[in-house]
Structures are given as C-alpha cells and as structure tokens.
Structure 1
C-alpha cells in the first residue's frame, strides 16, 4: 500500500503507543528534557511519556499523521544514533537492527495479520522490516505488542502501513468492547531483566562477557553462565544461556508457538536442551549471525521480563 495515501489524503488525527525500556526512554528525553522538547517543537506532535520507576515506559504520540510520523522518525533516528555510538567501543563487526515495539488493541490484530497471515506477510515484504505480532496480550490489558526490527526507513514505512490498516479497521467498525491500555508495573520486585537494549546484548555476545543480572534477580542468576563462541570462517556465532526450569515454559509457549515466533523473528537457530537430573536450569543454545543472535536474546529476555512482571503483578 502506498504510504503517500496516509501522508496526503488521510491526514487525520492519530495516536501511536510505543513500549520502550527505561534506558531507551532516557535517551529520547535527553538531558533536562532537551531531546523530547526538540521533538515536540519540530514535529508539532503531542508526545507523552508514562511516569513511574518502571523497567518499561509507554511513549504516546498524538496529532495529525504528518506530525506523528515526523516525531516517530526523530525517535527512530535517536535509537539508530545510540546504536552507532555504542558500536564505537565494540569489537562487533555487524550493526544490529533498530528494534522497537508498538502496542495496539488486540481486537485489531486479526485485520493486521490477515487471512492466513497474508497481510502481515505483505507488510514484511513491501517494507523489508521484520515484524511480529505477539500471541498473548500484555499483562492486565487488552493490548498486544508488535515488535518491529530493521533499518530506520523500513521501520517507519512498516508503521505507516500498520497505521493505514488500523485506520481502515476503525473506520469500518470501532474496536470491540472497551480497550484496557497496558500500564507497565513499577520495578519493586526482584524479577526484572537487566540490560534491555539490543545493542548491549549484541556487544556482550561479541565480547564473550558474562550476562548482566540486576542485583537481587535470583530468578535469572543462571543466565550469568552464558558464553559465546565465534566461528570466524563461517561468520556465525553460537551463544549459550541458561534459563530456570520454571520459566522455560514461557519461552517455549503452547505447542512451541513462542519459540517458533522467536526463531522466525530473529532468523537464529535456537535449541533447548532436555532437562538434566538434579539441575534447576535448562541450557539454551542460539546459533546464527551476530545480529540474529542479539535479536533472539533480546526477544527471549523481553519474554522472560514480561512473564516475570506479570507474575509480580498477580
């Protein structure tokens, strides 16, 4: 679908909700709020950032579509800038993709996926972005997360096409029932995953450093034993991480649905070892290009984080 449609004839008021890790949000806000102030002034969009000491925050962009996409482009550029600056001290040879999540009402996801997945496939092929709709709703809400990864331009184009579908759906019939928006929970419990940025994970995989665990994260201590092996001749890496037995189910999903999603999204091979007698952990081996391993780790840890946050909320 031509993005010109949304920029020209469809210049209506629009709202986009982005779900980001705290560190990324700090970068968007900038010192003394200078960065977000500039984005507001230059785009003309309303940009609101959820309050609270949470591992995740919601950034809401609202306004005419032209203003929204200007603000969205500036946010993507900032994330790309952060990846580039973090690469300067890294031994990594390939730059990981920009990755972000948007949240949409679950009732509209069917139209976005399309019959037999035809719509989402069309969006992937025409934009070049990797895009995955979460199978489960976010905790205590009726919204789902859509993870998008790729170049800044492919992500912007992808979000434009998603917005066209959403506008078409809401124009034909309003969302069914009341939408309960996702509100991230404060980090008051020892179950929040540390190091949420894809670039950090990528650096760690390449530098063969131990995985970082936030103080008090007893649930994930096993992941400190992760290690990377690099096969220079094939330009592929093999990365190992250990995940507690009681959390492996949320990675595998019903009939393997979740692990297959992560494999498809990242392009990496992921093997989960059989349980070992007397061990409370399971070994997970991720193989592929450095960028695909980084994305797989990011998605696995985001899944662990959301599962743990959901458990903490119950």
Structure 2
C-alpha cells in the first residue's frame, strides 16, 4: 500500500492504543521515543499486569513512535533467544485496542477486509470475539515481521479514519493485580516463545468475531498444562474472574480438572484454534510468572 496516502492525504491527528503485558519501561527509552518521533506517548498508571500505551499526534509522528516500539519488542525477543534452544525466532506480537463499533468495518463483509489486510501486509491479524472487560473496546492481535506489523496498523488506521466509532466508547482500563508484578527482562518473551513453539500463531481465524462468511470448520485442537495446586488460585482469581478474563481475551475454552488425591498438580485443558490456544497459554504463563516474581520480590 502507498504510505503516501497516510502521510499525505490522511496526515491528521491520530490516537493508537496499545495493550502491553508485563513491565513497561517509562525511563530513557520512552523519553527518547517522545523526542525523536514528536508523538505524545502516555503509559497508563497502576500496578497492573497490563498497561495501555497511548500514542497521539500527526500520523507521521505516530508511525515513527510505533516503529520504535516494535524495534524495541524485536530487540527483546532477539536478546531472549540467545539463551534459548528454539531454532526459529517467534514473530513480534502486539495488541491494539479499538472501539468494538469499528470492528465490523475492519472485518468487512464476510471477512473480506481483514483477509485483504492479511494478504497485502503478510501480518497475522485476529480480532477478539468479545469486548475487553468493563469496556466497549476489542483487542486486535497482530503478529509478524516489524515491517508487516507497521503496514498492517497503517491499513487499520485508514479503515478507522473512514469509519468513525458509533455511540459512546467506554475505554478499557486494566485492573490492578493483587500483588506487585515485577517481570525480569525478557521473561515474558521467553514464555511467549514457549507458547509459540506449542502451536503456531493464527493458522486460521476461529474466533466468534470471524464466523460470518469464514470457514467455520477452521481447525481446533486442545493442549494440556500441568499447574501446581498452590498456584492454581492465581489462574482462577477471585470468583473465577481471572480465568474468565483469560477465556475472553484468548477465545479459548479452558477447563481446570478437580484436584486428584495424592497429586500436587492440577490438569488444565485448553481447547480452541491454534492462535487462541497459544494466546491462552501465554496469558496463563504470564499470570504464573507474575505470581512467582511477585512472591520473589516480597
């Protein structure tokens, strides 16, 4: 796609909201991004396992800042690969948050628009079937090479500018976790990498949001995890809040087996498309990791 369309004809003020997991650096790197790109960059406060990064400004500034964030993510993956036995580097994966009222235009009739974006950019794109908790926004997961992701986000922005949100948008605000979440550098990336090895990222979209006109028989599979009894609580959360959130975000079905007498572990079965299994596993590992590092820090 001709980027001149964005940088020329659509050089308006844009806002992109990114949903990040783990510790987001607020120091020198963010200061450098602000100065070099000219974009306004705001990182949500709070002791949350997730942070919202808001980029605002003219399109040229936004995409400059966005490119810098993706470069940083790729650096983190590369540095985590140095001690890894994995032979291939997992793709850069990020999530942007958009009003649910714009998702229809983004998916297009019978899924034609999202298919076109996938084919022309080479990026994997998945629109969550459900809205994020307590909001009217949905997450869009994008994976691929840095260049394909940037191209993909540019095309998403064009669609969003052409189809403004309808009604009132309730923005997603990540909830604070019970204990401080401290991630060691690259730790999340390694977990993500493990999840990626278990099953490839979107082979076929199988989220409810895609069913219209798409191949509903997209392959589903299941994957089993073993989780220590003393950590199962942090996955389930108060009154099942955490596990429901993971189900909602990943689009996968998650069943936790009853405790077995004499066993110190619980069996967790994740069912869904390869993409949703991978994302559910990633989110479960992120919860376990935050619990372990939180305990280590106390």
TM-score (norm 2): 0.69
Residue 4 of structure 1 deviates from its aligned partner by 2.6
Query: For structure 1, which segment, 272-281 or 176-185, has the greater mean C-alpha deviation from structure 2 after superposition?
Result: 272-281
Q: Measured at CA, do residues 212 and 62 of structure 1 come closer, stay the same or move farther in structure 2, by a change above 3 Å? A: closer
Secondary structure of 2:258's aligned partner: coil
Q: Distance in 1 between matches of 2:296 and 2:140?
A: 23
Query: For structure 1, which segment, 193-202 or 79-88, has the greater mean C-alpha deviation from structure 2 after superposition?
Result: 193-202
Q: Measured at CA, do residues 283 and 4 of structure 1 come closer, stay the same or move farther in structure 2, by a change above 3 Å? A: farther
Query: For structure 1, which segment, 204-213 or 33-42, has the greater mean C-alpha deviation from structure 2 after superposition?
Result: 204-213
Query: For structure 1, which segment, 203-212 or 281-290, has the greater mean C-alpha deviation from structure 2 after superposition?
Result: 203-212
Structure 1 contact 129–149 (Cα < 8 Å) conserved: yes
Q: Distance in 2 between matches of 1:136 and 1:110?
A: 13
Q: Measured at CA, do residues 72 and 108 of structure 1 come closer, stay the same or move farther in structure 2, by a change above 3 Å? A: same
Structure 2 contact 195–279 (Cα < 8 Å) conserved: no
Q: Measured at CA, do residues 39 and 313 of structure 1 come closer, stay the same or move farther in structure 2, by a change above 3 Å? A: closer
Structure 1 contact 100–149 (Cα < 8 Å) conserved: yes
Deviations along 1:202-261, one digit per CA (max 9) or x if unpaired, are 5657999999999999999xxxxxx99999999999974147999999999999999999
Query: For structure 1, which segment, 190-199 or 86-95, has the greater mean C-alpha deviation from structure 2 after superposition?
Result: 190-199
Deviations along 1:283-309, one digit per CA (max 9) or x if unpaired, are 567899999986563266689999999
Q: Measured at CA, do residues 11 and 231 of structure 1 come closer, stay the same or move farther in structure 2, by a change above 3 Å? A: closer
Residue matched to 1:218: 208
Q: Measured at CA, do residues 143 and 238 of structure 1 come closer, stay the same or move farther in structure 2, by a change above 3 Å? A: closer
Residue 115 of structure 1 deviates from its aligned partner by 0.5
Query: For structure 1, which segment, 277-286 or 195-204, has the greater mean C-alpha deviation from structure 2 after superposition?
Result: 277-286
Gaps of 5+ in 1: 24-30, 221-226
Structure 2 contact 128–209 (Cα < 8 Å) conserved: no
RMSD: 9.8
Structure 2 contact 181–294 (Cα < 8 Å) conserved: no
Q: Measured at CA, do residues 108 and 228 of structure 1 come closer, stay the same or move farther in structure 2, by a change above 3 Å? A: closer
Structure 2 contact 110–214 (Cα < 8 Å) conserved: no
Deviations along 1:9-30, one digit per CA (max 9) or x if unpaired, are 211100000010132xxxxxxx
Secondary structure of 2:212's aligned partner: strand
Residue matched to 1:291: 275
Secondary structure of 2:84's aligned partner: coil
Say whether 1:131 aligns with 2:121: no
Residue 90 of structure 1 deviates from its aligned partner by 1.3
Gaps of 5+ in 2: none
Q: Measured at CA, do residues 188 and 255 of structure 1 come closer, stay the same or move farther in structure 2, by a change above 3 Å? A: closer
Structure 1 contact 92–206 (Cα < 8 Å) conserved: no
Q: Distance in 1 between matches of 2:14 and 2:182?
A: 32
Residue matched to 2:176: 186
Q: Distance in 2 between matches of 1:90 and 1:22?
A: 20
Structure 2 contact 79–186 (Cα < 8 Å) conserved: no
Q: Distance in 2 between matches of 1:219 and 1:192?
A: 33
Structure 1 contact 138–145 (Cα < 8 Å) conserved: yes
Structure 1 contact 21–197 (Cα < 8 Å) conserved: no
Secondary structure of 1:17's aligned partner: strand
Say whether 1:262 aligns with 2:246: yes
Residue 281 of structure 1 deviates from its aligned partner by 8.9
Secondary structure of 1:165's aligned partner: helix
Secondary structure of 2:223's aligned partner: strand
Structure 1 contact 208–228 (Cα < 8 Å) conserved: no
TM-score (norm 1): 0.65
Structure 2 contact 205–275 (Cα < 8 Å) conserved: no
Q: Distance in 2 between matches of 1:193 and 1:215?
A: 30
Query: For structure 1, which segment, 11-20 or 174-183, has the greater mean C-alpha deviation from structure 2 after superposition?
Result: 174-183
Residue 177 of structure 1 deviates from its aligned partner by 1.5
Secondary structure of 1:247's aligned partner: helix
